[in-house]
Amino acid sequence: MVARSLWRSRAGLALAVTAACGGAAAAGIATSDDPATALKLCTAVPVRLFRDSVTAASIAFDYQYSLLGLPEGSEERLKAKHEVHLRSARKLRDLCFENGGIYIKLGQHIGQLEYLVPQEYVLVMRQSMLNRCPESSYDQVCEVFRKELGEAPEKIFTEFDPVPIASASLAQVHVARTHDGRKVAVKVQHTHMTDTAAADHATVSLIVNTLHKIFPNFDYRWLVDEMRESLPKELDFLVEAKNSEKCLYNFRKLSPHIADAVYAPEVHWNLSTSKLLTMEYIDGAPVNDVKSIRKLGIQPSDVSKLVSKAFAEMMFKHGFVHCDPHAANLLVRCMPSGRLSLFGKRKPQLVLLDHGLYKELDFATRNSYAALWKGLVFADAKAIKENSVKLGAGEDLYALFAGILTMRPWNRVIDSAADHLVIQGSESDCSELQMYASQYFPQISELLRRLPRVILLMLKTNDCLRAVNNALLQGSSLETFVIIGKISSEAVLEAKMMQRRSLLCLLSIWVEEALLEARLLGMKVALWLLQLRKALSLLRLNHA
């Protein structure tokens, strides 16, 4: 009887969502000025809408039916919950692949939310969404070329490989050669993106809102709002091209000490449009491919340090941040100058790809975010609370905000030990994080709803960088936090110097700078001692 009632609610949800979305899509199609686009929407949208609603209803039904009558906290319930998480994650993954486009973007984002969604979702999405995106056919690629540049690819280039070397959620990349002999990478937008992006966004929005009404703790409306704002910019490749040039300009002007170590492919403007982007071809190792990085003669730890420095400079000093630094968007190659490190290893150069998603931080936000990270690194509870409140977390959720940023519980965040923020990547660390995610799910959802969208994107960036560091080092390292502490502190001091010009204020800033150097030296000494301890342990093992 109960199962029948649940099935009726599932079917009712599917029909309600399909009917509502279908009506909205029909209204949009009726007003279209492009008959071809209208025809595509007429055939594609209803199928996608039905798929969405059936998947959402299926997941909702599975949770309700599978956990029905199982005592909270029992072994039986935990096992059943793990299984339903896994089934639901796979259903969601399959839906994302079938629909493509913004659904894959959504799946990629879910794969970074380890502080909010069950581990099963994180693992399924991370394993699938970066490397298995659907590809457009060569005919579709030619269609984009004819619309954008007036001719087929083989007329525009002397060589054009019809098989893409990579395919992402919004576009795929082909290798080509220009008439003057230069090897280039050509990014071609998937043809369906323009046609269905608006309808897909409306559909996702309706399903998320419907699920929120049925399950009040399920509140992902903030994610839908963020996609509404960012997607149009990501779909305009000329915006992406301008972002890449601005990024490099900022490094040259504001961070000249590491400008040579950060690179973005040169844009060929005469062969680029809003849906086609032709760039210099870069040969490098993916940032999470430790074996390939070592083959280049580069230490993974040097790459980790460079990634931390580059993004700390962007967040705390430039205020113009690449917000999609997952492993597929970061390449590593040897410095073109051929320079070696102190120990004879090759120095890495970080190549930033996919510049579609950037966020600008105004002066006040950038300063507060830098001051917050300074407080986190140096375990300053007062500074953490003050700056978390300034950024929108509120008096009641500032400790939770600090925990999400660092993936550490509050008692570790304010621990005075030098390595208080270091995550070893062990099984106990992972289970502890999942326990907190489950325990504080409603509060986390409320915090994410409350925070400004620019800070939500900083969280996303933070999550991507953490995943990159985990791949390079099998966990985080104290050196990463020394770098963050140093650059965030420098940014805070620079902001104070801009605001205060009196001699007395300058003297107090110099004193503060001297104290900062002393604290950073203390952290570096702690780091050296840890490294020495590890080296001695290895020697003992070898002798044994």
Structure-block tokens of residue 391? 């950024």
Which active-site residues does the annotation give?
324
Contact 268, 426 (CB under 8 A): no
Q: Which residues contact 244 (CB under 8 A, 6 or more apart)?
A: 264, 265, 267, 352, 355
CA distance 138 to 35: 23
Question: What is the gyration radius of the CA atoms in the chain, in angstroms?
Answer: 25
DSSP string, 287-319: TT-HHHHHHTT--HHHHHHHHHHHHHHIIIII-
Contact 10, 42 (CB under 8 A): no
Give the 3-state secondary structure of 62-99.
HHHHHCCCCCCCCHHHHHHHHHHHHHHHHHHHHHHHHH
Q: For the chain, what is the largest distance between any 2 Cα atoms, rounded to a whole number of angstroms?
A: 80
Tell me which residue of 360, 431, 59 sits closest to 211, measured CA to CA.
59
Looking at the chain, how many residues does it have?
A: 544
CA distance 52 to 50: 5
Contact 199, 29 (CB under 8 A): no
Contact 205, 102 (CB under 8 A): no
Collapse the DSSP code of 433 into the 3-class scheme (helix H, G, I; strand E, B; otherwise coil) and give the result. Answer: helix
End-to-end CA distance of the chain: 66
Contact 132, 93 (CB under 8 A): no
Q: Which residues contact 463 (CB under 8 A, 6 or more apart)?
A: 112, 113, 114, 115
